[in-house]
């Protein structure tokens, strides 16, 4: 489906469930009570060029065992996140602009698997990109700037591989690592945040070869 305006519907703007296959391009999904675009069950979605804004939960969301490919969408002003993965969902997320959402630009939780490349996540009230639970994330080439807390955050038992991202002007940390998360954080640029990279002592990630500029409370803080 393409070129539709899905506004102020009862729940979702566009919805796919069970084993359905969705191709959604160049639609406007705004003001819906839940998500702009939602996948459930084992649905597969190719979602590109859509505008998902001011929805009651997330702009684009993949749940359960669904598989999402999201490219070049604008997800802004949604109550929770611009793009979100839950359950065992898999998401390939690239070239999206996730701005001014109530929590995160891009969010992955539970056992979901996220590949996020070349997205812009800015002005979100919490994190540009956030991993929680046991989510796995390969995060590269993203610009995470001017978010209310962190640029990129990995929490709990998540696994993060973060390379070649720019985390700039975030209120707290460019990259924040906590809990028993693991992974690799290298070749990122962290500038004009309060702290460049913060890592708690319980973290099991390799952190190296990052660049830091003018983070007034410290470039690399390791909580011993």
CA 3, chain centre distance (Å): 25
- Residues in Cβ contact with 111 at an 8 Å cutoff, skipping those fewer than 6 apart: 87, 88, 133, 134, 135, 136
Region of residue 146 (left: phi > 0; alpha: psi -120 to 50; beta: else):
left
The pLDDT value recorded for residue 115 is 98
The pLDDT tens digits of the residues spanning 88-117 come to 999 999 999 999 999 999 999 999 999 999
Provide the percentage of residues in the chain whose pLDDT is more than 70. Answer: 95
Give the model confidence (pLDDT) of 127-180 as tens digits.
999 999 999 999 999 999 999 999 999 999 999 999 999 999 999 999 999 999
Contact 187, 165 (CB under 8 A): no
Report the pLDDT averaged over residues 190-219.
Answer: 96
The pair of structure tokens assigned to 62 is 């993949």
Which of 2-6, 101-105, 208-212 bottoms out in mean pLDDT, i.e. has the lowest?
2-6
**Exposed / middle / buried, residue 139 (Cβ in 10 Å: 0-12, 13-18, 19+):** buried
Q: Which residues contact 27 (CB under 8 A, 6 or more apart)?
A: 1, 2, 3, 4, 5, 6, 13, 14, 37, 50, 51
Question: Which of 9, 55, 10, 65 shows the shortest CA–CA distance to 35?
Answer: 55
User: Is the predicted pLDDT of residue 126 greater than 70, yes or no?
Assistant: yes
pLDDT in the model for residue 178: 97
Give Cα separations from 20 to 42, 69, 140 (angstroms). 7, 14, 30
pLDDT band at 13 (very low <50, low <70, confident <90, very high): confident
* For range 197-216, the mean pLDDT: 96
Q: Show the domains of the chain with their CATH numbers.
A: 5-222 (2.160.20.10)
Q: What is the pLDDT of residue 10?
A: 62
């Amino acid at each position: 489906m393409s070129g539709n305006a899905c506004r102020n519907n009862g729940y979702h703007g566009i919805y796919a469930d069970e084993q359905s296959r969705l191709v959604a391009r160049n639609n406007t999904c705004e003001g819906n009570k839940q998500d702009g675009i939602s996948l459930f069950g084992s649905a597969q979605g190719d979602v590109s060029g859509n505008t998902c804004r001011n929805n009651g939960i997330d702009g684009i969301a993949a749940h359960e065992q669904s598989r999402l490919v999201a490219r070049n969408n604008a997800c802004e002003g949604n109550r929770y996140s611009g793009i979100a993965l839950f359950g065992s969902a898999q998401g390939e997320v690239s070239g999206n602009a996730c701005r001014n959402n109530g929590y995160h630009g891009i969010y992955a939780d539970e056992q979901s698997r996220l590949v996020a490349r070349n997205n812009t996540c800015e002005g979100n009230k919490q994190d540009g990109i956030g991993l929680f639970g046991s989510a796995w994330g390969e995060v590269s080439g993203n610009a995470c700037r001017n978010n209310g807390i962190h640029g990129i955050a990995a929490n709990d038992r998540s696994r993060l591989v973060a390379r070649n991202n720019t985390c700039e002007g975030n209120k707290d940390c460019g990259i924040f690592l906590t809990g028993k998360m693991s992974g690799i954080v290298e070749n990122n640029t962290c500038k004009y945040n309060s702290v460049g990279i913060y890592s708690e002592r319980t973290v099991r990630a390799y952190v190296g070869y990052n660049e830091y500029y003018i983070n007034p409370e410290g470039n690399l803080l390791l909580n011993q």
